[in-house]
Structure 1
Amino acid sequence: MVLQKRVWRMLRENKGRYIGIVLLILIGSFYFTAATGVAGSLEDQVVHFAQTNMQEDLTFSTDKTIEDLPTLARESGAVIEPYQQRDVKLPDGQSELRLLTPTSTINIPTVLSGQPLNNPGDIVLDPIFLRTHGLAVGGQLELNGKIFHITGTMALPNYVYIIKNLYDVLPTAGFGIALVSSADMEMFPNAAHQAVTVYGARFTKREDVDTQSAKLHGLLQDKGYSLSEWLDAKNNKRISSPWANITSLQSFSFPVSIAFFLLSCIIVGVTMLRMVKSDAVVIGTLYAQGYRRRELTRHYLAIPVLLSITGGLLGILLAWPCIGLAVDSILATYILPNTGIAFSPFNLALALLLPLALIGLASFFSLRGVLKKSAAELMKGDEQKARVNFFERVLRLERFRFTTKFQIREQVRSIPRLLFLLLGVSIASLVLLYGLTFNSSMDVAMKQGAVARYNYGIEYNFKEMQNLHDRPVPTGAEPYNSFRAYPEGRDEIEFYVLGMEPDSVGLKVNGIGGAKISRNQVNITSSLAQRLGLGVGDTLTCINKLDEKSYRLKIDGIIEAYGEQYVFLPLDEFNQKTGQAPGSYRTVLSNHVLNYDESLLAGVLDVRDPTKFANVSASTTLIVTATTSVAVLLAVVIIFIVSSLIIDENWKTISLLKIFGYYRKDIAKLILNSSTPVVFLGFGLGLLLMVALGNYLFSSIADSINMLIPMTLNPVYVLLSLVLILVVYEITKWFCGRKISLISMSEALKAGSE
């Protein structure tokens, strides 16, 4: 009972330090609980929606209607269902709605609000389109002169992420989807964009979808059908995009949390070692009074156990409401039925028990060395005496002036504390630099790549192959041809092989460093070359996603790129290799609006107005804000704990310095500034870790979204990170320095009399 009271007294005496330790544990537990909770909730919703509503394994289109669909389905071992789609402009001329006919066996819609389709003239919209266009369930919508009654909102398994074209990366502003009856679909005038038949397929055997997909592909070719589209679910961003969030959260939740827990282990170990050494005489006396080592071990372990349980529980409790907010925020982008939050009992147990186990073990080993000594050894008080260690002897501190010698000795006499500060500042710097670098990289990818590559701002994509002899392109426009491909043996990576005329100017094509590069050769973008490990002179073997034909392309040049994944070759060579007639093309780039019949077009991309694209800076800003906040909090906690320890370990010295006439400001500089070189060293180590790990982190993002974002380390952001770390250091040091005023000169005299 007496020892238990002493535990609470020790906690009160150093409450600031212990609060800092609890915060470290809390951050690790919070992040682990939140990340696994959000990922688990999303995974539960995505998987449940896919299984319950029969999400397609692939989508495809053919040059003609499949005649004997039941036979094809039986032979391929799949459930195949066609549906029609038609893109219709709204009266404002800007927004566009894709009308779809409902399906009953594949991609079954779920009504999120209101009622399903009941009568002709009913329409069900996606909730994002409804919200952004100021519409409401029960209202009306005019399409091509026909009035539709909005009966509800819905979610479709094949449109979880609503993008207009299958290969778009970003959603187009003003675009949405809707369900209408087959009768309503047929009532639109022929002059409008005609309906297209699309097939969704889901295989009955779930074990080997890829093999069955290849079998279906072969059956379609054998039956004489030409494929105009073929895309499996794992490469379909409309379906796979949520998995990028799930995978990234699952991948980083454990290592990030472990990093925080290990930092907590180091500082708790340092604190416990210092505590038992300062209590050596007390421990010896307790041994002499009959207390056993087991009892004293439990006594001192009570503090780390209480800290671990408190931090773990607070992290879990604080993460609980945040998970719901994060899931709701993600569901504002993805269209999924919100089935609530799903917690894994195993993950919750890990969030509580993992820090308890790690910190408990670290504390136990810190205590063992002191507690195993005899009562007589401990009562001599030798544990409290400072010892000259190996580093102090090697450095030969007598060569330096007093201030330098004192500050170096302060660091080398507590290597665990020094290691904690070094690693803590390094991790804080790494987190801060990662957030700012991600922001810089996304900014470069968007402003210098993606849509910025277009010299000609309008892209017209035709449903069927065109030919320059039959349909020449007007002045100010250029023909292109392309197919979607993947490297042999790596079907998770997709890119475009694009044929363009040698004198084309519609796309910006420059060599590395802005050098001129010939367009009359095979060129590859630098981002794709980096991802595939290719250079000039290497041969790329790629497979056409539509017909599975293989092509060997020798790389002649590398184009400077910022995330785009293309291989360019001359149009005539492209058509010759693919077996198409000379002059064939399927895309036209233009610097002005062309009057093509909309019934011929598969889609139009207009990049002249950046506002046509959804603003992706919001998610980037969220990432930067979150990482910056975590980094600053981490730096504050670590520097405060270390500064507090330094002051507590030097209270006698501080008292003596006051007797010798030193002012509080001078003492603060002498005592606390000893950590300044370590802070700079920690930031440098964090920068090196960012350079070393950055490419790996960005590569993992590329694998998730099939888009390589080049890491761009902006010197301004590096300087900003350093300034931010130093500002936090100075402010925290100033607050800790106020404790020096509380140490009186009489403390040194008391210590001497004792």
Structure 2
Amino acid sequence: MESKSQYLGSLVLIIISCLLYTMFNQLSSNMTNIKTSFEKNYVQEDASFIADKKLNNIKDLESKFNMSIEETRSIDYSVSKDKTLRIFSENTKVNIPAIIEGKELSGKDILIDPAYAKANELKIGDSIKLYNQNLTISGFMSLPNYIYPIKSESDLLNDPNVFGIAVISKDDFNNINKGSSSYSIKFNGDKNSVDSKIAQFKDYLKSENIVIFKWTNISENPRVTYVGAKIDGINKVSSSMPVAILLLTCILTGIVMWRMLKREPVVIGTLYALGYRKREIMKHYLMYPLSIALAGGIIGTILGTFTLRPMLNFMVMYFNMPIDSASFSIKYIVISILLPVIFLSICGYFVVNKALKCSPVELMRGGKEKGKVSFIERKLKLDTLKFSTKFKVREQLRSIPRSIFLLLGVVLATMLLLYGFAAKSSIDFLMKDTYENAYKYQYEYVFNALQQGTPSKGEAFSVSPFTLKSDNKTGFSVYGISTDSKYISLKDKSGTKLNTDKIIITKPLADKLKVKPQDTIQVVNKLDSREYSITVDSIAETYVGEYIYMSLTKFNAMLKYPVNSYMGLWSKDKLSIPENKLLRAATIDDFKKAFDSMTQPMQYAVGTMSFMSFIIGLIVIYVVTSLIIEENKESISLMKVFGYRKKEVYSLILNSSSFIIVIGYIIGVPILLASLSAMFNSITKSMNFAFPVTIRYTYVLVGFLVIYITYEISKVLSRKKINKISMTEALKSGME
């Protein structure tokens, strides 16, 4: 009860660390299980492709290649000017829609994804007009190849307010008499041989003179791979943040116990002399950290389990998967409770064992280290300083562990506080760098067949998917663009605009392939399986997309396409192109709206992290301040006897840690940026963009103000303790 603030601080930190550990690990485990069962139960494709001819021998192909293959019809229906609903025909063999709520399709029904329904206030039983048909929403569904429902594969963010997916029956789709066809394939048997089976199937299509216009393996589909990247990110957070807080708690508990043992050497020495064994005394003092660890572990774990369901519901806002029930892994519950017990027991044992190494006589005389001056303090020339400065410096040097604990606490609070701000700054920079400076078009149209001639409107371009010859799992796109392109503006590291007549590689792809200018890479076209050599001239300092750009003339010559042929158009204005000629259409505004939609929940995340950092910072600073006050009771009492005013006492005692707060914040900012950079580089390995980590100076300033205000609040709370110390404390000490 004498040190309740310190023990309460330790308890709260353990609760926070166990809550985070349980929540993130249970969330990651459930997300992995849900994704795996969803992909298996509803037959996620191994690949999908678009061909120039209709496949009429599907049953023969299924038998020949031991696979399931199904034709999927789709069309983008413009609900309004800025709102698109992608309609799919119902599959029964591959990419089967999973009913989340409601019932299966019957005549004149439609299934839609729940995020789009929620964003647009649609309910089961509502009617949707689709061209000349009125369809009734029979339920909400998920598609195994659209777990993260983005409109285009080059998009980073989804916005359910403007884009959603839906499924209707094959009969209803045929009545529309519009749209394009693609084929989804799923191989049976050993999954390790999928790549070789895909190669054999491509060779067969090539031998039948069937031209593949687009081919996407599931391992390259961002609508699926982004989910895995998110789960990896959760795993990294679940393993680092709780352990960091636990280590902080160990230091705090160790300091508190060491201080307590320094107060009681006479008691311990007397117990030794009376015949108490070292083991009995050790057991007595270890009850403090053990009871705190056990209580904090149990409370934190229970709170963590309660947060699982809300977190799963939150994740489903982004990833469209059916969640039947949440399962709790006993492993993580046991580890969450045992982790603080083990950490604090080891920490407590070393602290107590060090104190018990002294003999009973030494302990009864006050211990070996009573009045000991540290090496650093002896070396510093403090006599030339003012008394107030000298007092504050000595206060820190005479308790190095306490100062280290405060420093680490401020560093951790800084990293938590600025985590959300850094993420938002980085995304802002990514948006401005890519979608304002690099890509200047508003509309992008990709045709479902090769076009020839000079377009009357818009700027022509072509695109084709490739892989490395040495690693067929490393995929990227090669663009053919106009030599005087108005819509693609690429710059090098120095900010100089690059000539689009040269072969240019984007920074994310250059980093992944470890390519430098003038390097030659051997690649394989995914559509025709032919090998090509590409020599890179320059690296573009843009962060979105793993692309190689070359002139449209070089592109056509390399792939042996007709002169003046192209696959798509970029334009500032909306073009009138028949839907049945388009493979896809997208706008930059779609991405910007998706970005705005994504930053709204990020604001809540920033608020939550800021509150958590405030609590941790307040606990750490208040506990250290309390320790300083309790260790200086005699000095504070003497100051009052000598006539020091309250403000002077406050300044000497409470302001001694000010420079540690500043140093901790300064150290915390670069550590945060370095850790975020490492984490984002690891996460984005499976994505087609790099994540530049940056933070605005205004956010850094705001963060410092929050940390320093936290420090000031802890000082205000600690004033009561100073006021309670009476002048008689000095007399009592002298009598003892």
On whether the aligned pair clears a TM of 0.5, the verdict is yes
Given candidates 460, 466, 476, the residue that maps to 1:485 is 466
CA distance 1:671–1:696, shift in 2 (3 Å): same
- Give distance in 2, aligned partners of 1:310 and 1:743: 32
Task: Give the equivalent residue in structure 1 for 2:535.
Answer: 554
Q: Does 1:225 align with 2:207?
A: no
Instruction: Give the deviation of 1:489 after TM superposition.
Output: 4.2
1:416-436: per-residue Cα shift (whole Å, max 9, x none)?
A: 112111222122222333321
Instruction: Give the deviation of 1:664 after TM superposition.
Output: 2.2
Given candidates 499, 503, 506, the residue that maps to 1:525 is 506
1:350 partner SS: helix
Instruction: Give the deviation of 1:136 after TM superposition.
Output: 2.5
Aligned residues: 734
Return the letter of the residue paired with 2:28. Answer: A
1:145-184: per-residue Cα shift (whole Å, max 9, x none)?
A: 1122322222221222222233332335433222222221
- Give distance in 2, aligned partners of 1:298 and 1:236: 58
Q: Greater CA deviation, 32-41 or 71-80? A: 71-80
- Give distance in 2, aligned partners of 1:709 and 1:160: 22
1:433-485: per-residue Cα shift (whole Å, max 9, x none)?
A: 332111100011123314663333111110011112xxx2125x210011233
Instruction: Give the deviation of 1:541 after TM superposition.
Output: 3.7
Return the letter of the residue paired with 2:573. Answer: H
CA distance 1:696–1:493, shift in 2 (3 Å): farther
Given candidates 130, 136, 142, the residue that maps to 1:149 is 136
Task: Give the equivalent residue in structure 2 for 1:102.
Answer: 90
CA distance 1:437–1:702, shift in 2 (3 Å): same
- 1:161-310 equivalent positions in 2, closer than 5 A: 161-171=148-158, 173-189=161-177, 193-310=178-295
Task: Give the equivalent residue in structure 1 for 2:431.
Answer: 446
Task: Give the equivalent residue in structure 1 for 2:123.
Answer: 136
CA distance 1:140–1:20, shift in 2 (3 Å): same
The question of whether the paired residues in 2 share the 8 Å contact of 1:55 and 1:202 is answered with no
1:421 partner SS: helix
Task: Give the equivalent residue in structure 1 for 2:697.
Answer: 715
TM-score (norm 1): 0.92
The question of whether the paired residues in 2 share the 8 Å contact of 1:494 and 1:706 is answered with no
Percent of aligned positions with the same letter in both sequences?
32
1:187 partner SS: helix
Task: Give the equivalent residue in structure 1 for 2:321.
Answer: 336
Instruction: Give the deviation of 1:691 after TM superposition.
Output: 4.0
The question of whether the paired residues in 2 share the 8 Å contact of 1:531 and 1:708 is answered with no
Instruction: Give the deviation of 1:623 after TM superposition.
Output: 3.6
- Give distance in 1, aligned partners of 2:609 and 2:646: 36
Task: Give the equivalent residue in structure 1 for 2:396.
Answer: 411
Structure 1 stretches lacking a partner, 5+ long: 1-11
1:548-600: per-residue Cα shift (whole Å, max 9, x none)?
A: 43433322223332434332111101111122111111011122232222211
- 1:418-567 equivalent positions in 2, closer than 5 A: 418-450=403-435, 453-468=438-453, 472-475=454-457, 477-489=458-470, 493-567=474-548
RMSD over aligned Cα, in angstroms?
2.2
The question of whether the paired residues in 1 share the 8 Å contact of 2:544 and 2:688 is answered with no
The question of whether the paired residues in 1 share the 8 Å contact of 2:48 and 2:182 is answered with no
CA distance 1:452–1:154, shift in 2 (3 Å): farther
Given candidates 618, 642, 646, the residue that maps to 2:600 is 618
The question of whether the paired residues in 2 share the 8 Å contact of 1:278 and 1:384 is answered with no
Q: Greater CA deviation, 225-234 or 303-312? A: 225-234
Instruction: Give the deviation of 1:513 after TM superposition.
Output: 4.5
Task: Give the equivalent residue in structure 2 for 1:45.
Answer: 34
CA distance 1:203–1:370, shift in 2 (3 Å): same
Q: Does 1:600 align with 2:549?
A: no
Given candidates 107, 114, 131, the residue that maps to 1:127 is 114
Instruction: Give the deviation of 1:543 after TM superposition.
Output: 3.6
Q: Greater CA deviation, 528-537 or 50-59? A: 528-537
Instruction: Give the deviation of 1:749 after TM superposition.
Output: 0.4
- Give distance in 1, aligned partners of 2:37 and 2:660: 51
The question of whether the paired residues in 1 share the 8 Å contact of 2:467 and 2:475 is answered with yes
CA distance 1:492–1:620, shift in 2 (3 Å): farther
Q: Greater CA deviation, 203-212 or 281-290? A: 203-212
Q: Greater CA deviation, 419-428 or 482-491? A: 482-491
Instruction: Give the deviation of 1:487 after TM superposition.
Output: 4.3
Q: Does 1:591 align with 2:591?
A: no
The question of whether the paired residues in 2 share the 8 Å contact of 1:82 and 1:200 is answered with no
The question of whether the paired residues in 1 share the 8 Å contact of 2:38 and 2:322 is answered with yes
The question of whether the paired residues in 2 share the 8 Å contact of 1:277 and 1:384 is answered with no
CA distance 1:458–1:136, shift in 2 (3 Å): same
2:307 partner SS: helix
CA distance 1:610–1:564, shift in 2 (3 Å): closer
1:268-322: per-residue Cα shift (whole Å, max 9, x none)?
A: 1111111112111011122233322111111111110111112111211222222
The question of whether the paired residues in 1 share the 8 Å contact of 2:506 and 2:542 is answered with yes
- Give distance in 2, aligned partners of 1:135 and 1:171: 18
- Give distance in 2, aligned partners of 1:358 and 1:208: 45
Structure 2 stretches lacking a partner, 5+ long: none
Task: Give the equivalent residue in structure 1 for 2:303.
Answer: 318
Q: Does 1:31 align with 2:30?
A: no
Given candidates 626, 641, 661, the residue that maps to 2:643 is 661
- 1:718-737 equivalent positions in 2, closer than 5 A: 718-737=700-719
- Give distance in 1, aligned partners of 2:69 and 2:450: 26
Q: Greater CA deviation, 316-325 or 511-520? A: 511-520
Return the letter of the residue paired with 1:141. Answer: I
CA distance 1:115–1:691, shift in 2 (3 Å): closer
CA distance 1:153–1:610, shift in 2 (3 Å): closer
Given candidates 675, 678, 681, the residue that maps to 1:699 is 681
Q: Greater CA deviation, 144-153 or 543-552? A: 543-552
Task: Give the equivalent residue in structure 1 for 2:355.
Answer: 370
Instruction: Give the deviation of 1:491 after TM superposition.
Output: 5.3
The question of whether the paired residues in 1 share the 8 Å contact of 2:467 and 2:523 is answered with yes
Return the letter of the residue paired with 1:442. Answer: I
- Give distance in 1, aligned partners of 2:88 and 2:231: 28
The question of whether the paired residues in 2 share the 8 Å contact of 1:25 and 1:312 is answered with yes
The question of whether the paired residues in 2 share the 8 Å contact of 1:44 and 1:342 is answered with no
- Give distance in 1, aligned partners of 2:21 and 2:74: 43
The question of whether the paired residues in 1 share the 8 Å contact of 2:227 and 2:319 is answered with yes
Task: Give the equivalent residue in structure 2 for 1:82.
Answer: 71
CA distance 1:456–1:255, shift in 2 (3 Å): closer
Q: Greater CA deviation, 31-40 or 72-81? A: 72-81
Q: Does 1:381 align with 2:366?
A: yes
Instruction: Give the deviation of 1:375 after TM superposition.
Output: 2.0
- Give distance in 2, aligned partners of 1:746 and 1:196: 91
The question of whether the paired residues in 2 share the 8 Å contact of 1:85 and 1:198 is answered with no
Task: Give the equivalent residue in structure 2 for 1:68.
Answer: 57
TM-score (norm 2): 0.95
Return the letter of the residue paired with 1:98. Answer: R
- Give distance in 2, aligned partners of 1:435 and 1:98: 33
CA distance 1:691–1:124, shift in 2 (3 Å): closer
Q: Which runs of 4+ in 1 moved over 6 A?
A: none
2:228 partner SS: helix
Task: Give the equivalent residue in structure 2 for 1:687.
Answer: 669
CA distance 1:637–1:704, shift in 2 (3 Å): farther
Instruction: Give the deviation of 1:488 after TM superposition.
Output: 4.7
Q: Greater CA deviation, 195-204 or 108-117? A: 195-204
CA distance 1:685–1:187, shift in 2 (3 Å): same
Instruction: Give the deviation of 1:490 after TM superposition.
Output: 5.2
Return the letter of the residue paired with 2:43. Answer: M
